[in-house]
């Protein structure tokens, strides 16, 4: 301690760790590599004999990754610097490696090939909550065992969040009214928030809306007369048969509309989404219906227009083995015959029941 005056005393910490006290080096990303700890402004590798599963759990948590997946000496090569001269005594529940106790090593030598390598699982450590979609909402980061609200001072953090979640680019972002989130700094080029800097200064929570807000809609073909069958290039339809193309999407937001597009033609059809789907009826298939179709779902959400397009449906029109009008007559006759047989059987059963009652 250092005495400044007779009434004030300042105590200086003797902990040799810096706030960024541990890193994983030489792996494929931030969650794998050789364990190195920082002391006195230099990095030192850790000997496998001085490191166990509980220590690994704390290191993975400290660097913002998931649970330990692999722990092995020499897994990521040898360090170029010194070897850490302490042994960690972590209990496995600490948030930071600097929270763990240490003790002097029993053996001051570490044989080659024993620098400990660690692979942590990649966590789903970022999420957007409260926006009705995985691509919209308040930003939360799973850090040191809990979900924490994220604050930011510019749009770079929003860009990284959308990129990490696979939600396209940033459509809009806004800050809350109260300081609830810890501050994150990004340049905008990072692939995940784990590559950004962070501060424990409280800032307004960040809400992000990404461009890929709407899930991809589905498109499928049906017909009531059995005129469609699966060909080598996709569904094939007999000429003269009616068919329906249905567009549907998951129930994220109410309303919206579906646009059915036809590749190679300006012909489009639009219908409102009813129960998150729309059906487009074609009364008689001919060669002009052959081609690629897609569904585009449009919706006005969060004061912005969003759209999402389905995969292509490739439809081939082919000659029917029988004229369509003949098949229609056959279908009608079969329905009529079924009705007659059903009525006859019902009459016979009723008559037989009445006869038994008389007897």
21-62 pLDDT tens trace: 889 988 877 788 999 998 777 888 888 888 899 999 889 888
- Residue that wins the pLDDT comparison between 297 and 268: 297
Can you give the pLDDT at residue 334?
A: 82
Residue 118 to residue 104: CA distance in whole angstroms: 22
Q: What is the mean pLDDT of residues 63-68?
A: 80
Q: How far apart are CA 204 and CA 181, in angstroms?
A: 6
| Range of 95-99, 224-228, 275-279 with top mean pLDDT | 275-279
Residue 266 has pLDDT above 60, yes or no: yes
- Residue 356, helix vs strand vs coil: helix
The pLDDT assigned to 48 comes to 86
CA 317 from chain center: how many Å? 38
CB 205 within 8 A of CB 138: yes
- The mean predicted confidence, pLDDT, of the chain is 81
Is 309 within 8 Å of 216 (Cβ atoms)? yes
**Beta-ladder partners of 274:** 277
Band of residue 115 on the pLDDT scale cut at 50, 70, 90: confident
> Which stretch of DSSP H or E encloses residue 332?
helix 324-358
At 17, the pLDDT band (50, 70, 90 cuts) reads: very low
> 299: part of which helix (H) or strand (E)?
strand 291-301
Q: 11: how many CB neighbours lie within 10 A of its CB?
A: 7
Q: Is the pLDDT of residue 10 over 60?
A: no
pLDDT at position 83 over 60: yes
């Amino acid at each position: 301690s250092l005495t400044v005056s007779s009434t004030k005393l300042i105590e200086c910490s003797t902990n040799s760790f810096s706030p960024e006290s541990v890193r994983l080096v030489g792996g494929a990303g931030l969650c794998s590599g050789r364990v190195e700890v920082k002391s006195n402004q230099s990095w030192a590798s850790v000997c496998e004999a001085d490191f166990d599963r509980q220590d690994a759990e704390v290191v993975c948590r400290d660097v913002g990754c998931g649970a330990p997946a692999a722990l092995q000496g020499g897994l990521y090569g040898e360090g170029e610097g010194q070897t850490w001269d302490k042994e960690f005594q972590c209990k496995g529940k600490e948030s930071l490696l600097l929270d763990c106790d240490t003790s002097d090593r029993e053996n001051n030598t570490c044989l080659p090939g024993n620098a400990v390598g660690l692979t942590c699982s990649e966590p789903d450590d970022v999420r957007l909550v409260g926006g009705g979609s995985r691509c919209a909402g308040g930003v939360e980061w799973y850090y040191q065992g809990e979900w924490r609200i994220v604050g930011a001072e510019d749009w770079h953090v929003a860009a990284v969040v959308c990129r990490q979640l696979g939600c396209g680019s940033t459509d809009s972002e806004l800050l809350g009214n109260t300081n609830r989130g810890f501050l994150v700094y990004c340049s905008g080029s990072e692939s995940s928030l784990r590559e950004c800097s962070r501060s424990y200064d409280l800032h307004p929570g960040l809400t992000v809306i990404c461009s890929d807000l709407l899930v991809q809609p589905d498109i499928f073909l049906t017909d009531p007369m059995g005129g469609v069958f699966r060909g080598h290039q996709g569904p094939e339809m007999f000429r003269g048969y009616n068919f329906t193309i249905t567009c549907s999407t998951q129930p994220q937001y109410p309303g919206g509309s579906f646009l059915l597009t036809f590749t190679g033609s300006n012909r489009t059809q639009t219908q409102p989404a009813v129960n998150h789907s729309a059906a487009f009826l074609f009364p008689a298939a001919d060669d002009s219906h052959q081609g690629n179709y897609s569904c585009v779902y449009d919706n006005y959400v969060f004061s912005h227009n969003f759209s999402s397009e389905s995969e292509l449906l490739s439809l081939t029109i082919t000659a029917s083995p029988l004229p369509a009008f003949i098949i229609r007559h056959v279908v009608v006759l079969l329905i009529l015959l079924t009705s007659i047989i059903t009525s006859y059987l019902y009459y016979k059963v009723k008559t037989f029941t009445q006869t038994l009652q008389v007897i």
